[in-house]
A = this chain, B = another copy of it.
Amino acid sequence: MAPTKTTMGKIAGLEKIFSPKSIAVIGASHDPTKIGHVVLKNFMDGGFPGKLYPVNPSSTEVLGLPCFKSVKDIPGKVDSAVIAIPAKFVPGALEECGAKGVLSAVVISGGFAEVGEKALEAQLVGSAEKYGMAVIGPNCMGVLNPAKRVDSIFLPIYKLGRPHVGEISFISQSGAVGGCIIDLAARAGIGISKFVSYGNASVVSECDLLEYLANDDSTKIIVCYFEGVKDGARFLKIASKITRKKPIIALKAGKSKSGARAALSHTAAMAGSAVAYEAAFRQARVTEAETLEELFDFAKMFSQPICCGRRIAIITNGGGNGVLSADSADKYGLELAQYSEQTSKSMRALLPSYANIGNPLDLIGDADAMRFEQAIRACMDDHNVDALVINILFQTAAIDTRVVSSIVKANGEQKKPMVVVATGGEYTEMHRRILDGYGIPTYQSPSSAINALSKFVDYCEHYRKFNVTACRV
């Protein structure tokens, strides 16, 4: 999708934010409790390969790097600035950036419209527009691009994990919510492409970010947390175009009366009506998440190969999980596949005589890794099956860790989407993390897995209309 003229400058600026060769940290400090200190240190510790310029009028050196009084004093070219100074000094700092030719900045500082300081925010916007700068924030948490080792998030790396390189990009109006999701992704071994906490969105809006990500080849899935969308019509237009090529998953906060009030004092967002947002999301084929868990659960799911139908196979070594999975399939509108003759025959040979060859397919509590592998193989090859839901009770005596290899192998063929359900404590979690790390989405319960799968199946139906060769028949 071609970007509009008005956003061309912003998109060029965003490119500098995500892939800078040189960065000025305005507000860099000796004091380890200051955001400017943490940001500079995180760039250094994270191995940013470009040039780093601390800026602070009261220091000559910070963390071993020469420190400049103003961004204007920096000898070389500066691609981007990270600004973490008191709000009242921010417009001036942006002016200096503009004069120096720095055409992009991330303003972490808060204290603008979200606390009623609308004039100060207008000044910030004025400085940015004067020089055609792309400015993220103010009142935001920073930006992450693991491929380029860009990390302006001011939270300590031992508290907030940083994910490895992947295909999910995530834009979040709230730093807190964004940070939580990033931390969850890092923990589960799920990679990301770009992360942006965009705060008050006074210059670069969520729509600008969406346009950027639409054209970013390393982004395959776009995940959003919104408190308010500034230009509904533009959002609808952009999002509708994007979802023909890439999924957008969004959580809209502030949908209730109390929530809307809270959003206003948080990011100065006009939250708008819940009904209007739901309708817009539906029309633009944006996948809506109702909770933080769903946002994370759906994001994981959408990295699977395109689904070519609604017929699922449920495999389990625990009968109760099979029953719960079947309940969830009904609830979320997925069909239980009727196995082919071939599958039924091979399952009959595989299982004890008293076992039911049905769907859910109960491999019985004494199933080992090999029985799982054969059942998964049969379902992968069965033309009546569009997706697999694999419930594994890792707690049984018979199952062992090799089942992980079988699943990774089957998923590696990229033929059909699969999800793994595994409920339990540390031993089970360890296996889930390995699977998640290989891009196989795992879930705590049949309900959360099948909910996520159903949203993906719905999206794939839409996607296939515009990508007719996605499913070879």
Interface segment out of the listed A14-22, A152-160, A378-386: A152-160
**CB pair A184 B423 closer than 8 Å:** yes
Is the CB–CB distance between B38 and A259 below 8 Å? no
**CA–CA, A267 to B320, complex, Å?**
9
**A69 interface residue (CB < 8 Å to B):** no
Q: Give A160's nearest chain B residue, CB to CB.
A: B395
Q: Which residues of B contact A91 (CB under 8 A)?
A: none
> Are A161 and B425 in contact (CB-based, < 8 A)?
yes
Q: A256-B330, A326-B256, A327-B253 are in contact. Are A262 and B397 (CB under 8 A)?
A: no
Residue contact B174 to A323, C-beta cutoff 8 Å: yes
Write out the residue numbers on chain B whose beta carbons fall within 8 Å of the beta carbon of A63.
none
Please report the C-alpha to C-alpha distance between residue A289 and residue B393 in the assembled complex, in whole angstroms.
21
Are A266 and B323 in contact (CB-based, < 8 A)? yes
Interface string of A389-428 (1 = CB under 8 A from B): 0000111111000000000000000000000000111111
Give the interface residue-count category, chain A.
35 or more
Report yes or no: B187 in contact with A425, Cβ–Cβ below 8 A.
Answer: yes
Chain B residues with Cβ under 8 A from A176's Cβ? 316-321, 365, 393
Chain B CB within 8 A of A439 CB: no
Do A336 and B258 have beta carbons less than 8 Å apart? yes
Question: Are A448 and B320 in contact, CB atoms less than 8 angstroms apart?
Answer: no
Residues of A158-213 contacting chain B, CB below 8 A: 158-161, 172-181, 183-184, 186-187
Q: Is A459 an interface residue (CB 8 A)?
A: no
B residues in contact with A323, CB < 8 Å: 174, 227, 253-254, 259, 262-263, 266
Contact: B444 with A322, CB < 8 Å? no
* Residue from A35, A227, A259, A396 whose CB has the most chain B CB atoms within 10 Å: A259
Q: State in angstroms the CA–CA spacing of A327 and B256 once bound together.
A: 5
Q: Does A293 contact B (CB under 8 A)?
A: yes
Contact B258 A397 (CB under 8 A): no
A342 located at the interface, meaning its Cβ lies under 8 Å from any Cβ of chain B in the complex: no
Contact A262 B322 (CB under 8 A): yes
Complex-state Cα separation, A398 to B447, whole angstroms: 37
Q: Does A73 belong to the interface (CB within 8 Å)?
A: no
Name which residue of chain B comes closest to A110, CB basis: B365
Q: Complex formed: what's the CA distance from A253 to B328 in Å? A: 10
B residues near A448, Cβ cutoff 8 Å: 291, 293
> Could you list 15 examples of A-B contacts with CB < 8 Å?
A35-B397, A155-B396, A159-B394, A174-B320, A176-B321, A180-B318, A183-B423, A184-B423, A253-B327, A256-B327, A256-B330, A259-B327, A265-B356, A292-B423, A292-B445
